[in-house]
Homo-oligomer: A and B are copies of this chain.
Amino acid sequence: MLFLYSRLEMGVFQVETFPEKVYDHRSKVKGILDSFKPDFEKIEQVLSRHFASHIPLVNEISQYILFAEGKRLRPLLTVCAARLCGRDDEAVFDLSAVPEYLHAASLSHDDIVDGGVMRRGRSSAYKIWGNKATVLVGDFLYARAIELASRFGDTRIATAIAEAVALMSEGEIIQLLQAKNPSFDEETYLEIIKRKTASLISASCKIGALLAGAGKSEVQALSDYGLYLGQAFQMIDDILDYTADASELGKAIGTDLAEGKITLPLVVAIKKASAKEKERLLQVLRDGNPSEKELVWVKDLLFSTGGLDYTRSRAKALVILAREGLEIFAPLETKDLLNDLAWFVLERRK
């Protein structure tokens, strides 16, 4: 049972929050992605344009890290945020490479950190080139991102980016410190995901608004949108880590559990499970590297204790908050697209 949410359940959700549009799930997701097709094409072009190094190996590793099957959510948000604030030119696309470079750099450092072996359906970079080169190429991509962010003559852009990087590394460190801690709670979880994921998604929106010369309240509204959306995005990621189809997701299932990483579904399960179940769950967590049988048992427990449902309902609430924040903007096509994107984050299966 790889997908715990039935078509029916999703249908109900759609009726609640998207009363005007009830489509078939797959065609709706495809429709959203198709509407961004010209943007995605331009984004791929700028991503190639700005990272070039004089060192062939740096290019090779950067290329490998950057041009896997990324969702390009962050650059798309930069582009949409700028567009919503009235700017839509080449500079916007150039800027949109910044958060994707940071994201790629952070993934390459995180993979080393977590010992992850698969990323986007392929080997992690460090498994091919070693820790040494991968840490350094990560540093190189961070630097290229900051260089690019500094080119637009507005120090608020570089500051927003640097703040996000500091928060991202802090988030990863808290997660590291809290691994296997059975008294890990929802508050700690939210602290971590705000920092490690939502801060950059928020900054992706913020820099778009800043580049467009938006007013303070617009910049704030788009930062908030990103912060809510980023948290929802991570919650869905944490659900998918247990429920997705490994081949569709492009990485192994159950890696969070294997690494002792406690996410919201697990927080709920630890709280709601019977004494006996809780004992067994904590044992699996302490031991690390669960067997296939143990993983199936944990997945069932996450389902029966409502851990997955609860996480999904929290993500849904955050997506509603994200959408509400956009109300200050006049009805525009871009606003609809950002609303659609919020929906996409919730309904994606990889």
Number of copies: 2
Q: Is B53 within 8 A of A170, CB to CB?
A: yes
Q: Is A139 within 8 A of B155, CB to CB?
A: no
A140 vs B173: C-alpha distance when bound (angstroms): 10
Chain B residues in 8 Å Cβ range of A135: 109, 112-113, 135
- How far apart are A240's CB and chain B's nearest CB, in angstroms? 23
- How far apart are A202's CB and chain B's nearest CB, in angstroms? 15
Choice from B106, B147, B161, B169 contacting A166 with Cβ under 8 Å: B147
A interface secondary structure, majority: helix
Chain A window 2-38, contacts with chain B (Cβ cutoff 8 Å), 1 for yes, 0 for no: 0000000000000000000000000000000000000
Chain A window 165-207, contacts with chain B (Cβ cutoff 8 Å), 1 for yes, 0 for no: 1101110111011000000000000000000000000000000
Q: Is A158 within 8 A of B146, CB to CB?
A: yes
Q: Is A166 within 8 A of B143, CB to CB?
A: yes
Chain B residues in 8 Å Cβ range of A109: 135-136, 139
List 28 interface pairs A-B (beta carbons < 8 Å), by A numbering.
A53-B166, A55-B170, A58-B170, A113-B132, A113-B135, A113-B136, A114-B132, A136-B176, A137-B173, A139-B165, A139-B169, A140-B173, A142-B165, A143-B162, A143-B163, A146-B158, A146-B161, A147-B159, A149-B158, A150-B150, A150-B155, A150-B158, A151-B155, A151-B159, A153-B155, A154-B155, A155-B155, A158-B158
List A residues at the B interface (Cβ < 8 Å): 53-55, 57-58, 106, 109, 112-114, 131-133, 135-137, 139-140, 142-144, 146-147, 149-155, 158-159, 161-163, 165-166, 168-170, 172-174, 176-177
